[in-house]
Structure 1
Amino acid sequence: MPRRLFLHHFGPVSGLPVLHYRMEFAHLVRQAVQQIRPDAIAIELPPTLAAPFRRALARLPQISLVSYPVKEADGRESSVHLLVEPADPLVEAGRLAMELGIPLHFVDPDIDRYPRHREALPDSYSIARIGLAAYYQAFCEATAAEIPCHADRRREQGMAYALQQLGREHQRILFVCGMAHLQRVAELYDRPQAAPMARKQREGITLWNLHPECCGEVLAEFPFLSAVYEYRRHGLPDLPRERGNGLRKQFHALELISGGRQELPEAEVMDAAIRRSAHQLGAAGRFPDRQRMIYHLFSEAARHYKQETGEPVHIWQKRAFFRFARNYALLDKMLLPDLFQLLAAARGCLDDNFAYAFCRLAVSYPWQQENSDLPDRSISAEELWGGQRQIRFRPRQQRKKGLSGLRLMQRKREKRPGEWLEGFDNPSICSYPPEDLAIENFGNFLKQKGSLQLSEEQSRSEKFSTSLLDGIDMRETLRNMHEGAIYVRQQVRAKGGVGSVVMIFSEGRRGEYPYQTTWLGEHDQESDMAFYATDPAANVVGPGICRCEYGGFMLSYPPRRLMEVWSDPDYRFADSRAEVLLLAALDYSTERNVVYVAAKPPRSIFKQHAARIGRTIVYIPLGSLSPVRLKQLRVLHVLSGHDKRAFAKEYIW
């Protein structure tokens, strides 16, 4: 790991080049103070803002906003805003100076009408990998030909003059300065400088308390990162005590009988998630790893999402989220995504409910309160940064009025504890017919998709010569446009049909799906099925009616041929129940091809085994199917006897 800290020394001054409002540089300020132990700290802010800035520092971790009016060149009046947030290097330098009793000096001249610069700088996360020295050198080489504007020259001359004055009184000065100015300030320091012509006093400065609802929109580092950084400034925070299940909306029957679980306030749940994430990042003195923070943000959001909706975030969804976010960041020439890109990935790779849970945690900042010691101020990103991007969520909510409310009133409940257990008076079990139809239809869809995929794999394209074959291949034609040729496509029909279908939602290696059984089709239009699922006894929803969730299932047609799969000695070498189902599908398939749907493809040994018995495995990634449809298919109900079908619809929702 490279040495991350770099200081540019000139005279008694140790200059730290920073990017404003970046967490990595705020941590470098702390390292610089620990290393050189300065007797004075100088920051790139004008002395006219010293009083409100010091008061804003004293209010931290509450975030403040410093505002003052200025006149534009055309005579119009506008406002300048300075955000005082924890993950800013200038703010961190000022806080350390106040906490350690080090004199704090404001050395930047106060000038009006400073132009807004938009510099394309590399991602600050790269410092964690290459260090500040290499980062700063690359920046200097890239900007060596740029000529500073008149306002920048005035400011740099003024800062050099102020540092010369401080050099007469102090021996070790830490100068925290923007990366664009440090090199020129160091060159000017060695020449005599005159006192700058700058404003000595500014009227109309106002200090505001930033309204809590604005934090997610205007903070340069989104609130979750700032909160984690704040918690880790003085050691690791205490781990939160687990009191209940937080945002969970559904409860187990035994919990309700014992008095239920108390829901925690949302602010307390979010604070617990932030503290848990801060603690999992390791020792407090370690360099802040933005990538790991984003990972923990995703994990905590997935935890809240499962508590609220009952749906877990699967590994293939997690993989798709981080791949999407990475590619989106690369489009903007960044290493890691910003908050907008993360929210777009959450909405696109999962759903709006997860994006809402992710956003709610990402914009949580526990210390920001309304009606504090200062007046509140709401401000938009357009006012503060000059631009904004919008994203909308449409989380699905259960209807509280209309038909859904009437059906909820009609739903039957137990008249006395244990009444529904009396419905388990039949030793046989059966399925719920509407769910059977849904599974059969989906199995037919997978067969068609598998056949189409086989045909696509065996089709070929070639340059047009004498025949159009099955039509022009537009994709290949456009791809080879430089050749000036037309490509045509020949469709090849796959040999053999698709027999068995295997659908794996989760491999369940840790005993998550203890219930496993084999069902035979009841008529000629129904397939045999083998599956593993959650324990039916854990969720009784009616007299003799249990609710389960599939971990995986296998369909085989025609029916009445499937033997007990789970006790078959031929499948003992399988490492998981998903592999048992795949072996059974290969054995009982009457067609050449078997469709296997899972988050990852089967091991190569199964492809070899399929080839030996004259079968082919057609793999379909789980992520290529609709997640909404998969959620609906995972639910099944086990009925204790065929007589329960007559009234099952009154208990199944």
Structure 2
Amino acid sequence: MILYKNLRIFPTFHDSLDFSSEIRNYFYQHPPDLIAVEFPENLKFLILQGIDRLPKISVVLYYDEYLDTQLYIPITPADSLVEALRLGEEYAIPVEFIDIFIKNYQPAIVPLPDPYVLHYIPYSKFYDLLCENLQLKEKAQIFLRKYQHSQNHQENPDHSNHPIHPSNHKEPSSFEIPGEEDEKWLHSAEELDSLRNFYMASRLAELMKLNPNSTILVVVGMNHWENIRVLLEHQITDSEITAFEPEIEAQLMNVRNSDIPKLFSNIPNILFQFEIHRQQQKSEWDDLNNFSKIRQNHLIRKLLNKFDILEGIQDILSRSLDRYANEYKERISFQKLKILTQYARNLAIIDNQIIPDLFNTVLAAKSIINDDFAWIVYEECIDYPFSEDFSDLPSLHFSESGIVLNGKRFSIRRNIPVRLKSIKLPLQPKLKENYQGEWKKEWMKGRYQLVSHIPEDIFEEQYFQHIRNRSLSLLRDKYVKIHKFSSTLMDGIDFRKTIRNWPFKHEIYVREEVPIQGSVDSVVVIFDYDNETYKKYPYRMMWYAEHDHESDLGFYSTYPGVNLVGPGISRIELGGVVSFYPPRGVPNIWSRRFQKQYPFVHSTDELLLLSALLFAQKKFITYVAPSKPRQFFYQMAEKLNLSIIFLPLNRFNPVSLRALRHLHILAGKNKRNLAYKYINKRKY
């Protein structure tokens, strides 16, 4: 905050939550008598109407014929100007709009530091560093010299290039504002900024005269204050200025939840969290009068904590992790989450920022985890529960090329441009139903002709073969004999035992790999044990091979047709699966007739292992599960001249296991041609 006579000035960045927090904290500590903001007077009614709608987000929209563009002023909790006005409305403090309405305004977007540093350095230090970096004070002196130079040429004002030309008044500091039809509208952004600086300085000088004993809180853009200051110091604005309130066709419009990321730089859910923080802070502050003075001082320090955007992003990721674990039954490790946050931070640093934006957050989730998790993160990020798609106000209809208004298409831009990164996400689009119940209707048509998704078939067979190879590798290690070296190296030196014994015995040991008789037949994979009281996986199915390169499958899973991801396309979650390869026409192991023959089987996972033993054509059966099967099945395998190879489930890559566990079932072969549009490409 900057002091100037009875002014308390806050130069800020537009669309910044950190500056909104700064203004709130200052306001609560030093309530002003009057608030002045950098908004044009002729839009005051609509802007205040939009503030009354908060936390619903809206924009003031008007047309600039020189730019052939619809310009909008955002009314959002993130904007510091809006926050100042909102505080004034809540605490019945008068507000003044001190900016001038301009057109054809196309300022360059200046790279600015991330205001998140305000959590670590005081505002005054931040402002001094910014002034030094952007040379704001030096530019203000140049601006003053240009004005003084133009005053020396008042005798011939028509040849002046300055947008503010002397009026018929004799006072050297009296100015005339360009009219609605004036060609001065076509001046450069620099000249229009000069016009704005003069006008705001004049309005502030007027307010200071009318309110000499009042504290005035002034909230303006960062680039304006130093120029306004030199004008006030040199008393250039102590004159009459021409009233300028042109009529303009503007309207207040509602912003739908899906369009918030297209218009604002902040993550929508961060805005929601800030709004909750703001409401709690206001409620607690208003209750301070109920406490003693000592207690009040303690609570004030506690209440003035700033909203932390980084904590907000961490909260989004935490909710995304829980939702992902609930939907996909897979926990993302702390190590993966740490890598994700580091990657998001690095992406932000590339953009010269501290805090990752929506794009970088989602990109990090996709790159480190997968598309499914990235979609969950994106949906959590854009969730703004206060928004309304259907409102008492007309809503913007946004498209990639702009907006549609009254049947016409317009480009759209913020009135004060800010840098908005493209929201085109590197994710496969999530298609939606054309009408409610469309996907269910397609499923019901083909629910008796269920088929698999071919890319998943290929992956399944490859992964089952990987399990077989891994089983044989484990067997080879068990079938190795170690001998003391005598005359031949046999299958090579066993370095482990040789090194262990060399210091004491000076002996060399060699390996003899005994050939394995037989190969791996069926593979049983148990992801989760089913509870017989409450069946988590109630669906049972035999899936027979369509050709010789596929295996026959038996599995228990969640019900198909419940979780639909496309028209007639359902995602299921396996509890356990058995693969018979080569295919052999196994009878339906889920039939009551089959199960009645084996009353000693206690659960579905044991039934899968039993079927693998009964219909085995080769010596070894691989059993992958969280724990070993009952000893009974080892004895049964021995009687059948078979051998069970147990592999703990946690020895396998969780990403690959997830891909194996979550399959898609299609309601008819005709769905295979379009399934790729609805099923995300897997990371295996």
TM range (shorter): 0.5 to 0.7
1:114 Cα deviation from its structure 2 partner: 2.0
User: Following the alignment from structure 1 to structure 2, what is the Cα–Cα distance between the partners of residues 320 and 404?
Assistant: 43
Distance 1:433 1:143, change over 3 A: closer
User: Following the alignment from structure 1 to structure 2, what is the Cα–Cα distance between the partners of residues 112 and 55?
Assistant: 23
User: Following the alignment from structure 2 to structure 1, what is the Cα–Cα distance between the partners of residues 388 and 51?
Assistant: 16
Please give the per-residue CA displacement for 1:501-537, whole angstroms capped at 9, x wherever unaligned.
xxxxxxxxxxxxxxxxxxxxx976469x9x9986565
Q: Which amino acid aligns with 1:157?
A: F
User: Following the alignment from structure 2 to structure 1, what is the Cα–Cα distance between the partners of residues 76 and 517?
Assistant: 68
Distance 1:84 1:495, change over 3 A: farther
Distance 1:359 1:446, change over 3 A: farther
Matched, 1:58 2:28: no
Q: Give the match for residue 502 of structure 2.
A: none
Instruction: Map 1:331-370; keep pairs closer than 5 Å.
Output: 331-370=350-389
Matched, 1:302 2:326: no
User: Following the alignment from structure 1 to structure 2, what is the Cα–Cα distance between the partners of residues 180 and 495?
Assistant: 76
- Quick check: 1:86–1:226 contact (8 Å CA) kept in 2? yes
Instruction: Map 1:97-136; keep pairs closer than 5 Å.
Output: 97-136=88-127
Distance 1:237 1:113, change over 3 A: closer
- Quick check: 2:36–2:217 contact (8 Å CA) kept in 1? yes
The structure 2 residue matched to 1:91, chosen from 74, 82, 90, is 82
Q: Give the match for residue 186 of structure 1.
A: 229
Say which SS state the counterpart of residue 107 (structure 1) adopts: strand
User: Following the alignment from structure 1 to structure 2, what is the Cα–Cα distance between the partners of residues 533 and 356?
Assistant: 25
User: Following the alignment from structure 2 to structure 1, what is the Cα–Cα distance between the partners of residues 356 and 70?
Assistant: 30
- TM-score for the superposition, normalised by structure 2: 0.55
User: Following the alignment from structure 1 to structure 2, what is the Cα–Cα distance between the partners of residues 288 and 532?
Assistant: 46
Distance 1:221 1:443, change over 3 A: farther
Q: Give the match for residue 179 of structure 2.
A: none
Q: Give the match for residue 228 of structure 1.
A: 273
Say which SS state the counterpart of residue 37 (structure 1) adopts: coil
Q: Give the match for residue 246 of structure 2.
A: 201
Matched, 1:291 2:285: no
User: Following the alignment from structure 2 to structure 1, what is the Cα–Cα distance between the partners of residues 13 and 474?
Assistant: 53
Please give the per-residue CA displacement for 1:162-185, whole angstroms capped at 9, x wherever unaligned.
111111233200001111112222
Q: Which amino acid aligns with 2:8?
A: S
- Quick check: 1:38–1:172 contact (8 Å CA) kept in 2? yes
User: Following the alignment from structure 1 to structure 2, what is the Cα–Cα distance between the partners of residues 91 and 81?
Assistant: 14
User: Following the alignment from structure 1 to structure 2, what is the Cα–Cα distance between the partners of residues 373 and 172?
Assistant: 37
Distance 1:316 1:180, change over 3 A: same
The structure 1 residue matched to 2:258, chosen from 194, 202, 213, is 213
- Quick check: 1:63–1:85 contact (8 Å CA) kept in 2? yes
User: Following the alignment from structure 2 to structure 1, what is the Cα–Cα distance between the partners of residues 313 and 357?
Assistant: 10
Distance 1:354 1:172, change over 3 A: same
Q: Give the match for residue 490 of structure 1.
A: none
Say which SS state the counterpart of residue 118 (structure 1) adopts: coil
Q: Give the match for residue 150 of structure 1.
A: 191
Q: Which amino acid aligns with 2:58?
A: S
Q: Give the match for residue 678 of structure 2.
A: none
User: Following the alignment from structure 2 to structure 1, what is the Cα–Cα distance between the partners of residues 59 and 383?
Assistant: 18
Please give the per-residue CA displacement for 1:314-352, whole angstroms capped at 9, x wherever unaligned.
223212211221111111111121101111111121122
The structure 1 residue matched to 2:209, chosen from 149, 165, 168, is 168
User: Following the alignment from structure 1 to structure 2, what is the Cα–Cα distance between the partners of residues 441 and 128?
Assistant: 55
Q: Which amino acid aligns with 1:315?
A: F
Matched, 1:394 2:431: no
Distance 1:230 1:407, change over 3 A: same
Instruction: Map 1:304-453; keep pairs closer than 5 Å.
Output: 304-379=323-398, 383-384=412-413, 388-394=422-428, 405-406=447-448, 437-441=465-469
Larger Rg: 2
Bigger CA drift: 436-445 or 185-194? 436-445
Please give the per-residue CA displacement for 1:112-131, whole angstroms capped at 9, x wherever unaligned.
22223311111121111223
User: Following the alignment from structure 2 to structure 1, what is the Cα–Cα distance between the partners of residues 329 and 39?
Assistant: 50
Bigger CA drift: 118-127 or 370-379? 370-379
What stretches of structure 1 of length at least 5 have no aligned partner? 1-6, 239-281, 411-431, 448-493, 500-521, 549-558, 568-595, 600-621, 636-653
- Quick check: 2:262–2:423 contact (8 Å CA) kept in 1? no
Q: Which amino acid aligns with 1:384?
A: R
- Quick check: 2:42–2:246 contact (8 Å CA) kept in 1? yes
Q: Which amino acid aligns with 1:332?
A: D
- Quick check: 2:527–2:661 contact (8 Å CA) kept in 1? no
Distance 1:370 1:533, change over 3 A: closer
Please give the per-residue CA displacement for 1:608-636, whole angstroms capped at 9, x wherever unaligned.
xxxxxxxxxxxxxx9xx7x642424689x
User: Following the alignment from structure 1 to structure 2, what is the Cα–Cα distance between the partners of residues 93 and 437?
Assistant: 66
- Quick check: 1:45–1:107 contact (8 Å CA) kept in 2? yes
User: Following the alignment from structure 1 to structure 2, what is the Cα–Cα distance between the partners of residues 115 and 379?
Assistant: 22
Matched, 1:177 2:185: no
- Quick check: 2:362–2:377 contact (8 Å CA) kept in 1? yes
Say which SS state the counterpart of residue 278 (structure 2) adopts: coil
Q: Which amino acid aligns with 1:391?
A: L
User: Following the alignment from structure 1 to structure 2, what is the Cα–Cα distance between the partners of residues 203 and 334?
Assistant: 37
Distance 1:361 1:566, change over 3 A: closer
1:283 Cα deviation from its structure 2 partner: 7.0
Say which SS state the counterpart of residue 358 (structure 1) adopts: helix
Q: Which amino acid aligns with 1:180?
A: N
- Quick check: 1:18–1:177 contact (8 Å CA) kept in 2? yes
Distance 1:9 1:60, change over 3 A: same
How many residue pairs get aligned? The number is: 430
Instruction: Map 1:639-650; keep pairs closer than 5 Å.
Output: none
- Quick check: 1:160–1:188 contact (8 Å CA) kept in 2? yes
- Quick check: 1:109–1:198 contact (8 Å CA) kept in 2? no
Say which SS state the counterpart of residue 113 (structure 1) adopts: coil
- Quick check: 1:109–1:196 contact (8 Å CA) kept in 2? no
- Quick check: 2:471–2:520 contact (8 Å CA) kept in 1? no
Distance 1:224 1:433, change over 3 A: closer
- Quick check: 1:21–1:88 contact (8 Å CA) kept in 2? yes
Q: Give the match for residue 436 of structure 2.
A: none
Distance 1:630 1:104, change over 3 A: same
Bigger CA drift: 382-391 or 538-547? 538-547
Q: Give the match for residue 461 of structure 1.
A: none
What stretches of structure 2 of length at least 5 have no aligned partner? 144-189, 284-300, 403-411, 432-438, 453-459, 476-491, 498-515, 538-555, 557-589, 596-600, 607-619, 629-647, 663-684
User: Following the alignment from structure 1 to structure 2, what is the Cα–Cα distance between the partners of residues 403 and 442?
Assistant: 42
User: Following the alignment from structure 2 to structure 1, what is the Cα–Cα distance between the partners of residues 341 and 517?
Assistant: 45
Aligned alpha-carbon RMSD (Å): 4.5
- Quick check: 1:439–1:633 contact (8 Å CA) kept in 2? no
Q: Give the match for residue 41 of structure 1.
A: 35
Say which SS state the counterpart of residue 266 (structure 2) adopts: coil
Runs of 4+ off more than 6 Å: 395-400, 432-436, 443-447, 494-499, 596-599
- Quick check: 1:216–1:364 contact (8 Å CA) kept in 2? no
Q: What percent identity do the matched residue pairs reach?
A: 24
- Quick check: 2:2–2:124 contact (8 Å CA) kept in 1? no
Instruction: Map 1:70-85; keep pairs closer than 5 Å.
Output: 70-72=64-66, 77-85=68-76
The structure 2 residue matched to 1:139, chosen from 130, 136, 141, is 130
User: Following the alignment from structure 1 to structure 2, what is the Cα–Cα distance between the partners of residues 443 and 283?
Assistant: 60
Distance 1:88 1:536, change over 3 A: same
User: Following the alignment from structure 1 to structure 2, what is the Cα–Cα distance between the partners of residues 78 and 217?
Assistant: 16
Q: Which amino acid aligns with 2:250?
A: I
Q: Give the match for residue 159 of structure 1.
A: 200
- Quick check: 2:38–2:98 contact (8 Å CA) kept in 1? yes
